[in-house]
Structure 1
Amino acid sequence: MGFFDGIDHVWLWLILGAVMLTAELIAPGYFLIWLGLAAFATALVAGVADVDFAIQVLTFAVFSGFSVLAARHWLTLYPIESSDPLMNDRGGRLVGESVVVSRAIEGGSGRVRHGDSEWIARGDDAPAGTRLVVTGHDGVVLLVGPPDTSHIAGSPTNSPPALP
């Protein structure tokens, strides 16, 4: 007599499916949901057809593989778009922001301050206290340059053309 002989296998698969779906809610990764659905499908098969437990495990494995591959294909065609794609990209969020040189940029390297954070920076030489703009980032190193003055009236790039 095996361990699972006294247990109704339908309930076993339903409980496993519920545990998988609950685990997906607690630690979302968009993976356990498919295993939970495969367990529910296996419960349906176990309830409709009187099959051996080994066949049920094989059915669960097939349903799991199929559902994971189908979900992967679906998500390739219709990826989930983030409402804030730069959420976990702190350097990317700073592009266009104004920073102040806290340690002179000499030889292309120095430090800049943005808010209460200090960052390693690369750019043209600039003395401490100079206001620069973040133009990009390379990992945790900010790429900085002079502020864009084209929007300021009277700047060389925004001046009216000279009269002949």
Structure 2
Amino acid sequence: MHWFDGASPALLWGILAIVLAIAEMVIPGTFLIWISLAAALTAGVTLLLPVDPSFQMLAFAILSALSVSGGRLWYLARPVEAEDPLLNDRAARMIGRKVEVIEAIVKGEGRVRVDDGSWRANGPDAEVGAHMLVTGVSGSTLTVTHLPPEPA
């Protein structure tokens, strides 16, 4: 007993297209939808032309390659801009922040408090409790400078 005896190839390709589209929704990977499109186009080819299964597989392979390549080009042509480009760059987010010296900066080295943590700091000598401005980051070391005077 064969399950698909007498089934229309276009129907089978259409079912495959639907299954792949559903799989894309369940497991988003942004590429199954393009293979689903190739299966749908293959269904269209088999609906319009009476072709044997080997040509159907060849058409599906070629259409898959074309649709995945086209999808990749489409995504590359439309880059997604992040609302906050420094979202995942904790160190870069430090630049411009006011920090407090918790270990005196002597000969250019010390420690500063940032929120509830402490960071190594390089900058001009400063006493414990002084407030500094972060001007740069190198690895896990902050570059700090004295705060400019407040305008009167």
Q: Same fold (TM over 0.5)?
A: yes
In the other structure, the counterpart of 1:41 is 41
Change (3 A) 1:73 1:112: same
Q: Secondary structure at the match of 1:76?
A: helix
Residues 22-37 of structure 1 aligned to structure 2 (within 5 Å): 22-37=22-37
Residues 39-118 of structure 1 aligned to structure 2 (within 5 Å): 39-103=39-103, 111-116=111-116, 118=117
Give, in whole Å, the separation in 2 of the partners of 1:11 and 1:110: 72
Tell whether the 8 Å contact from 1:131 to 1:146 is kept in structure 2 after alignment.
no
- Following superposition, the deviation at residue 128 of structure 1 comes to 4.8
Look up the equivalent residue of 1:87 and give its one-letter code: L
- Following superposition, the deviation at residue 96 of structure 1 comes to 1.9
TM-score (norm 1): 0.65
Task: State the identity %.
Answer: 41
- Following superposition, the deviation at residue 27 of structure 1 comes to 4.2
In the other structure, the counterpart of 2:142 is 143
Give, in whole Å, the separation in 1 of the partners of 2:79 and 2:127: 45
Look up the equivalent residue of 2:120 and give its one-letter code: A
In the other structure, the counterpart of 2:16 is 16
Q: Secondary structure at the match of 2:100?
A: strand
1:109-135 per-position Cα deviation (integer Å, ceiling 9, x unaligned): 65543323x354342255554433333
Q: Secondary structure at the match of 2:45?
A: helix
In the other structure, the counterpart of 1:160 is none
1:46-95 per-position Cα deviation (integer Å, ceiling 9, x unaligned): 22222222322222221121122223333333322223322322223333
Tell whether the 8 Å contact from 2:46 to 2:56 is kept in structure 1 after alignment.
yes
Look up the equivalent residue of 2:84 and give its one-letter code: D
User: Does 1:153 pair with 2:146?
Assistant: no
Give, in whole Å, the separation in 1 of the partners of 2:10 and 2:112: 62
Look up the equivalent residue of 2:74 and give its one-letter code: W
Give, in whole Å, the separation in 2 of the partners of 1:27 and 1:104: 53
TM-score (norm 2): 0.69
Give, in whole Å, the separation in 2 of the partners of 1:66 and 1:79: 21
Unaligned segments of structure 1, at least 5 residues: 155-164
Aligned length: 151
Give, in whole Å, the separation in 2 of the partners of 1:27 and 1:106: 55
